[in-house]
Amino acid sequence: MKALLVIDFINEIVDEKGKLSGKGYVLFIRENSTFEKLNEAITKFRMANLPIIFVCLAFKADYSDQPKSSPVFGKAHEFGILSEGTWSTEVHASVDKKDSDTVITKNRVSAFHNTGLTKLLHDKGVTDVYICAVATDLAGEAAARSAHDYDFKVTVIADACAAANSVDHQKSLAFLPKIATVINVADLHL
């Protein structure tokens, strides 16, 4: 069975009011129609009656699970962002998320790190994981590596992923074929 992982399309990263969006994500998404491509992938999975799992970065309100030494997450508590249950960590309104969709919270780059995602996928009989993520070179690549190491067949939907800039996106896409199949949403046939 196939499942779609939609990773980190949260307000703090992909909304123009988000503090992390200034790194280039909003512009990249706008210029590359990423929301449209992502929603097209989601629609294809819905039509095929296949699981869609949203994985969202969030830390506990007291930031006790935040890796303070991390170059990417270390200052979240100082900026008061990425706190679980806040606007910051909600899936962006432009993404076709339904209340019935499964949502998993992560507190590291990889969607598989201490989240229970591997067990959830195995319990559902999933063998093939499809990934749409922001950032391609961080959460997307980390999920692909982890999924590969947990023996899932991995496919990254390139045009439904986003990065801070095209260079980061393309570098990641150049690496990913070593561990995953890389396609565009137009080539997604379920």
pLDDT of residue 85: 93
pLDDT of residue 19: 84
Provide the residue ranges of all domains of the chain, joining segments of one domain with +. 2-58+92-187
Contact assessment for residue 135 and residue 88, using Cβ atoms and an 8 Å cutoff: no
pLDDT of residue 52: 97
User: What does the pLDDT profile of the chain (190 residues) look like in tens digits?
Assistant: 999 999 999 999 999 999 887 789 999 999 999 999 999 999 999 999 999 999 999 989 888 887 888 787 777 787 777 889 999 999 999 999 999 999 999 999 899 999 999 999 999 999 999 999 999 999 999 999 999 999 999 999 999 999 999 999 999 999 999 999 999 999 999 9
pTM: 0.95
> How many Å apart are CA 107 and CA 114, to the nearest integer?
8
User: What type of residue is 8?
Assistant: D
Inter-axis angle of helices 34-47 and 25-32, nearest 10: 70
| Class of the CATH domain delimited by 2-58+92-187 | alpha beta
